[in-house]
Amino acid sequence: MKDIRESILKTDGDEKISGQAKYVADIRMANMQHAITKRSTIACGEIKNISYPELPEGYFIVDHRDVPGLNVVKIIFDDMPVFTEKAITYLHEPILLVVGPNKEKVKEIVNNIQIEYIEKEATFEWKNSAVQYHFDKGLGKSIFENADKIIEYDYETGYQEQAYIEPQGFIGYLEGKDKVTLIGSIQCPYYVKNAVIQVLNATEENVRVIQPSVGGAFGGKEEFPSLMACQLACAVKKVKKPIQLIYEREEDMLVTTKRHPARIRFSAALNKEREILGFKIYCAIDAGANIGLSGVVLSRALIAGTGAYTIDNLDCSGDVFITNTVPNGAFRGFGAPQMYFAVEMFMEHIALDLGIDSLAFRRKYLAKQNDLTSTSGTFRDPIIMNEMIEKGMEISDYKKKRIEYSKEKSTKGIGMSFFFHGCGFTGSGEATHIKAKVRLKKDKDNTVYILVAAVDMGQGIRTTLRKVVAQILEIPIDNVIFDFPDTDKVPDSGPTVASRTMMIVGGLIGRAAKEMKKRWTETEFIVEKIYEQPEYIKYNDETFRGDAYPAYSWGVNIVEVDVNPVTYQPKILNTWSVYDIGKSIDDRIVLGQADGGLTQGIAYGYLEVMNHVKGVIKQKNMTDYIIPTAMDTGNMETVIYENPYAFGPYGAKGVGELTLVGGAPAVVYAIEQAINKRIHKIPATPEYILEMMNDGKNRL
Amino acid sequence: MAKIDFRLNGVPVSIETQLNRRLLDVLHEDFDLIGIKEGCGEGECGACAVLFDHEIINSCSVPIANCANKDIVTIEGFSNTSRYKILKDAFEEEGAVQCGFCTPGMMIAAESLLNKNPKPTTEEIKIGLSGNLCRCTGYNMIIKAIQRAAKVGEGKW
């Protein structure tokens, strides 16, 4: 039998290349109506009065009065209204929908609705903390009493926009009298379904969610679509016709969730031998106007606080700050990219302060099997980072380049980051919150159906999940069907997030396939599997103590840059990556994740600029918000290491987020070397680099 | 409203429409050509790219008024050619497709590039693709796909 990692052609390549794959905007329905959102023009205050133009026949206003159930979008922390009733907490907050047959007319009505506000002073400073976390490891901060030397630095990260090429969108319609069906560009069919049930006060049977082809998501379509779906569901109930709610790019960029800006302070206690005794880590993130997923993002950031290193004594704390800005949310990496930038730079900066070789210093603290994690859990599985680092250095000629580029006149630099990513939901999330359920169905004609709610948004699970089943059952992949998820047909296998799909959902599907194989002679049957946390995994969500993740994927990124000595524009020359992902289910698909994730991660570090001025996002389209083009990419090389995890299918762990989180520190290490200055903030734009160049005190 | 005649995917067509409508909307809505995707609506992302008298353009930036007597080819028309087949195989074999939303536009960009320059260097491919955004792949595999297509399809462009 072939090794499952041997690549096959993606099963949806044909329909996507020919343009015949249907995304939400490509779906036609008779009598389709258009919905456009009326939004606030202030960042903070109250609605005093709304005056409406006369509505032509067939045109509707849908607002908070049309919400039959709770006017709250069910996320994790339920503090976002579907339509605001009175209070305005950020600019462009949704107030109502206008719905009607002609889109231009709908736009005109939206523009003619006059809203008077009582404006209040908005808060943009990070001062209102809504969530506070704190945990210790070992002796906690008391270790600082024994310190011979303390080193402390601050780091800062900016917004990042997911910039999926397909904007957010839904179509909603009534099936029969009471049933609302929603087709949307989403990652999590059951998040949407459960949110709509609460808002409509509906039964399970009366809400149906279907996923079409999804044009990229990267976390941006995790929780935000629930808001749109709830609004649209209320509109469908009222208008009783099919309605399309599809954002144009500008609306998408102004109002959808982004990666949280963060400010991170690291302190290290060192002994006389210049060894690290412990860290104090403080992380603040800007949630925007609602908490939403921000608490979970902060916890993932803090858990990643020691990076790929083992630090025996820790004091970790953080705040989620509420400001009158657009709510932030999920984005590939989920708190880890902010923290990896900070911890990797901090390790480098400590070594520089101590005047010791930073690579040797960093390698000395690399986590090893059986070390305690930041949350005092255990790295149970083998860690092969040393081997991976050697491989990365070999293929990149790292040592030679590092010496060559350290010459005064060199405009080039090379940097290397170390990192891991916890696979699946944090802590007991999988076992208590998600409780994934999958089904595998065998038909009379020996066709097998994968019944899960996992979404293919480009990462390739329409191919890889089928591959797992076909390989275990030893049947052709064409005999394994995986249709687009439809909540009427598939169980809740959980959201398509957290690098969990192959490891958790694929793991369950793999176990179901093994059982199916034993019973293959039965003509027609269904195998169902429900996730059970491995018994040895114990975690306390309150105290942040125990095994935060069942498994970890590991990585090394090496980036080589040339920084233009006049414009200070960094150019990416080459990248090399080495990943331990347990087991590759399809090499070409994994390499695709590797290239794409690293490109996003590097761009987060030096290219992608988004900011707000008094709550106004200044980059509102793809012209203002620069993402990498083909011109911005260097040569990319990736090596995959196998290091199987017992409960993943064939040993597979997570891939998707791992490939992003190390990009920013790797590129910034390289830029630091090229410019001979330290960097404390990303994105490291030419403007920021110029500032550092002009800072006479700043030197490596 | 006015009548506009043009060639669409090799066939003469005629429509009555408002002259300020975007070519993108006319193709997507009136002709149901769903291979044209709207990514940004401002000529930046290339997801709506078509060939306009053999030149690549973003159909979101062209009013239908400018299309009279023009020759317009979309991915649907291009997919009937042998060059398409070579590019398609190369895209699949190199893993150039992830979410697929930018892919038809990338195919049009590749065709346009190879028409002008059948043996492009890596740098020339990057320049040729610079008007098409992809957020999934990091471009590496798309660049390799075009290199492969140029080699396999030598003499076709």
pLDDT digits (tens, 9 = 90+) for A278-318: 999 999 999 999 999 999 999 999 999 999 999 999 999 99
Segment A152-174 shows an average pLDDT of 98
CB A126 within 8 A of CB A182: no
CB A572 within 8 A of CB A562: no
The two structure tokens encoding residue A248: 């144009």
Say if the Cβ atoms of A215 and B99 lie within 8 Å: yes
Say yes or no: domain B2-77 is CATH 3.10.20.30.
yes
Cα-Cα end-to-end distance for chain B: 39
d(CA A229, CA A191): 10
Q: Which domains does chain A have, with CATH numbers?
A: 24-121+163-255 (3.30.365.10), 262-426+545-693 (3.30.365.10), 429-530 (3.30.365.10)
Query: Between A17, A248, A249, which is nearest B97 by CB?
Result: A17
Share of chain B above pLDDT 70, in %: 100
Is the pLDDT assigned to residue A259 strictly greater than 80? yes
pLDDT class for A427, splitting at 50, 70, 90? confident
Segment A368-393 shows an average pLDDT of 98
pTM over 0.90: yes
Segment B100-128 shows an average pLDDT of 98
Q: What single string gives the DSSP state of each residue in A288-320?
A: ET--BTHHHHHHHHHHTTTTTB--SEEEEEEEE
pLDDT class for A77, splitting at 50, 70, 90? confident
Say whether residue A53 is in contact with chain B using an 8 A CB cutoff. no
pLDDT class for A76, splitting at 50, 70, 90? confident
Fold annotation for B81-152: DNA polymerase; domain 1 (1.10.150)
Question: What is the predicted ipTM?
Answer: 0.99
A window 612-631, beta carbon within 8 A of B: 621-623, 627-631
Say if the Cβ atoms of B41 and A459 lie within 8 Å: no
Segment A93-110 shows an average pLDDT of 98
Is the pLDDT assigned to residue A431 strictly greater than 90? no
Report chain B's mean pLDDT, rounded to a whole number.
98
**How far A483 CA sits from the closest chain B CA (Å)?**
16
pLDDT, tens digit (0-9, with 9 covering 90-100), for A619-641? 999 999 999 999 999 999 999 99
pLDDT of residue A1: 75
- Among A134, A69, A75, residue whose Cα is nearest residue A433: A75
The two structure tokens encoding residue A691: 């500032």
Say whether residue A366 is in contact with chain B using an 8 A CB cutoff. no
CB A203 within 8 A of CB B25: no
From the CB of residue B69, how many other CB atoms can be counted at a distance below 10 Å? 10
Q: What single string gives the DSSP state of each residue in B21-86?
A: SBHHHIIIIIS--TTS--SSSSSSS-TTEEEETTEEEEGGG-BGGGGTT-EEE-HHHHTTSHHHHH
pLDDT of residue B23: 98
Segment A245-265 shows an average pLDDT of 98
* Interface with chain B: mutation pick from A17, A253, A574, highest number of B CBs within 10 Å: A17
Chain A residue nearest residue B143, CA to CA: A630
Report the DSSP beta bridge partners of residue A560.
Answer: A414, A574
pLDDT of residue B94: 98
Say if the Cβ atoms of A249 and B133 lie within 8 Å: no
Q: Which helix (H) or strand (E) holds B104?
A: helix B103-116
CATH 3.10.20.30 region(s) of chain B? 2-77
CA A251 to chain centre: 20
pLDDT of residue A75: 87
CB neighbours of A424 closer than 8 A, spacing ≥ 6? A430, A498, A499, A500, A503, A504, A549, A550, A551, A654
Q: Which helix (H) or strand (E) holds A587?
A: helix A587-606
Is the pLDDT assigned to residue A142 strictly greater than 90? yes
Say if the Cβ atoms of B37 and A165 lie within 8 Å: yes
Segment A660-681 shows an average pLDDT of 98
pLDDT of residue A95: 98
Say if the Cβ atoms of A592 and B136 lie within 8 Å: yes
pLDDT of residue A47: 98
> In this structure, is the dihedral angle defined by the CA atoms of residues A511, A513, A517 and A522, taken in order, positive or negative?
positive
Measured between beta carbons, the chain A residues lying within 8 angstroms of B101 are: 23, 164-166, 213, 215-216
CB A410 within 8 A of CB A416: no
Segment A513-528 shows an average pLDDT of 97
Eight-state DSSP code of residue A73: B
- Among A162, A215, A189, residue whose Cα is nearest residue A326: A162
CATH 1.10.150.120 region(s) of chain B? 81-152
What are the strands of the beta sheet with A114-119, ordered from one edge?
A87-88, A45-51, A114-119
In three-state secondary structure terms, A377 is coil
